[in-house]
Amino acid sequence: MSCGQYYKLTEKDYEWMPYKGNETLVFQSNTGDSDTIFLLEKDTLTAYPEAQSSNGIKYEVLSIACKHSDSYSVDNKQSYLENVFFEISRNKSNRSSIAIHLSAKDANFYRLNLIRIDSLVKQPSSTLRTKYGQFDDIYVIDGQDYLGNFYQRSDFVTKVYWSKSQGLIRYDKKAGVYWELEKKY
């Protein structure tokens, strides 16, 4: 029995957190539009995956909260929402995963499965050059839509380009539209 186990993030897991929690990320689209994501805070939490049981298993989650454009704005009025933007967690199987919760102006990254770090590191990283700089630690992560419910939406993000050291660098939508990080401060 695994009574009282606590699965903490490792030093290697913490290397996947590229943010301090107070940055401002400015993105520019190839269609000339811009959008800003405001990172609000970084927090470490203890999660109880089976709160209804008395097995005592808990695990650590490191998350970044943000303020972002509402992707479903009404009457073209700019409004903002607050949500989790990125998190790293250690699960009850003692494996670590990341989750990217990108939501921005007319953009949502739908990812039903967590991204396991041990699987991600087996993939070769790639290089991406943008106006903001060159990044040699890029992992391209596809959006997911198992049932075909999300892909038809105009806000569907097909890919995110994640730098292990810098975070979100670019995201692609359908029809050749993409957004790239222009400034980070």
DSSP code of residue 175: G
Model pTM score = 0.89
Two tokens, residue 147: 């049932």
Identity of the amino acid at 14: Y
Q: Which residue has the higher pLDDT, 98 or 72?
A: 98
Q: What pLDDT score was predicted for residue 50?
A: 62
- Torsions phi, psi of 37, nearest 5? -115, 125
Position 91 confidence tier, pLDDT thresholds 50, 70, 90? confident
- 42: enclosing H helix or E strand: strand 34-47
Whether the pLDDT of residue 1 is over 60: the answer is no
Which tens digits make up the pLDDT trace of 107-152?
A: 999 988 889 999 999 999 999 999 999 999 999 999 998 777 888 8
Please report, for the chain, the start and end positions of each structural domain, with discontinuous segments joined by +: 6-184
Residue 29 β-bridge partners: 179
CA-based nearest residue to 120, from 11, 15, 8: 15
Q: Contact, 168 vs 140, CB < 8 A?
A: no
Q: Contact, 96 vs 87, CB < 8 A?
A: no
Q: What pLDDT score was predicted for residue 47?
A: 79
Q: How far is CA 141 from CA 7, 106, 109, 138, 176, in A?
A: 26, 19, 10, 10, 17
Which tens digits make up the pLDDT trace of 45-75?
A: 887 766 555 567 888 999 999 999 987 766 6
Which tens digits make up the pLDDT trace of 159-185?
A: 999 999 999 999 999 989 999 999 999
Which tens digits make up the pLDDT trace of 13-37?
A: 999 999 999 999 999 999 999 999 9
Position 2 confidence tier, pLDDT thresholds 50, 70, 90? very low
Q: What pLDDT score was predicted for residue 55?
A: 63
